Amino acid sequence: MVLLTFNIAGIEAATKNSIQITEEERLKITENNTKAILRILDVHDIKATFFIEISITEKFQNTIKAISGRGHEIAFYNKNSSLEQVELAKKNTQDLLEKQIRGIRQKDFKLAEENLKLLEFNYVSNIDNASILFPLKRLKRNTEIVEIDGLSIVPESISPYSQLPYNDFVFQILPMKYYQNMIIETLKNDEFVLIYLNSWQFTDFKKYPFDIPFYRSLFSGRKMEDKLDALLAWINEKELATSRMKDYVF
């Protein structure tokens, strides 16, 4: 099973040459990137899970409704919000969609699992930092979903042979053929492959002068769209099963 997921968050990077990009403009970029992702998913009729960063949920309501209306799952991505902020965002988003929000993703800042369970989340999908050196590390970790007091903990996927994780950076820099082979290898060994990408990777950094490392701007923007398009076409060609997170976990 291929679990395709996207982290949707505002771009926080500084700009070059003191050029000003307002918060409204940054949010619009995120909206446009999300629409590009949706168009590609529509072409290939593949459903995914969108982890919306807590702090933008209130201003992102129209896009959230568009994502959900196309049959994709809405979940949360918590960068540094408090438990109270998460609870409020969950209530408001559930009222907006008239659907239960079941999943949450965390990275650096992690709320306690027992507190997330109290907020009636059903699964947690935590991720690690992705730096230029991270893929070079030999990784050993559990890649099976475990349940703790009724809360499912979904780990990141790792290729059993190359030991590369399926994070945003690895997808961006690896040749597609190598990435496809990783997926096949992993599905022979594990029941699922969890892939995640970030909305900012679809930004045209020639048009928007954000100050980000050169290696992170490689193959971004339209090249990222083309790469996602190629991946989804290959998934359908190989008839690989795909699923939203909530459907697979439960």
Model confidence pLDDT, tens digit, residues 35-64: 999 999 999 999 999 999 999 999 999 999
Homologous superfamily (CATH) of 2-249 is Glycoside hydrolase/deacetylase (3.20.20.370)
Q: Flag whether pLDDT at 67 surpasses 90.
A: yes
CA angle, 204 as apex, 200 and 210 as ends, to 5°?
70
Adjacency order of strands within the sheet including 103-106: 146-148, 151-153, 123-124, 103-106, 73-78, 49-53, 2-8, 193-198
pTM for the model stands at: 0.94
The sign of the dihedral angle between the CA atoms of 176, 178, 181, 182 is negative
123-124 and 146-148 beta bridge pairing: unpaired
- Which of 200, 209, 165 has the alpha carbon at shortest distance from 79? 200
Give the model's pLDDT for residue 242.
98
CB atoms within 10 A of CB 50: 26
For the stretch 81-109, pLDDT in tens is: 999 999 999 999 999 999 999 999 998 89
> What mean pLDDT comes out for the span 109-120?
93
| Domain ranges, ordered by start, for the chain | 2-249
For the stretch 215-243, pLDDT in tens is: 888 899 999 999 999 999 999 999 999 99
- Whole-number mean pLDDT of the chain? 92
Q: Flag whether pLDDT at 132 surpasses 70.
A: no
Distance CA 99, CA 219 (A): 36
What b-and-e string marks burial along 96-129, b requiring 16 or more CB atoms within 10 Å of the CB?
A: bbeeebbbbbbeeeebeeeebeeeebbbbbebee
Token pair listed for 79: 């960068």
> What mean pLDDT comes out for the span 113-142?
75
- Which of 250, 192, 243 has the alpha carbon at shortest distance from 48? 243
Q: Flag whether pLDDT at 180 surpasses 80.
A: yes
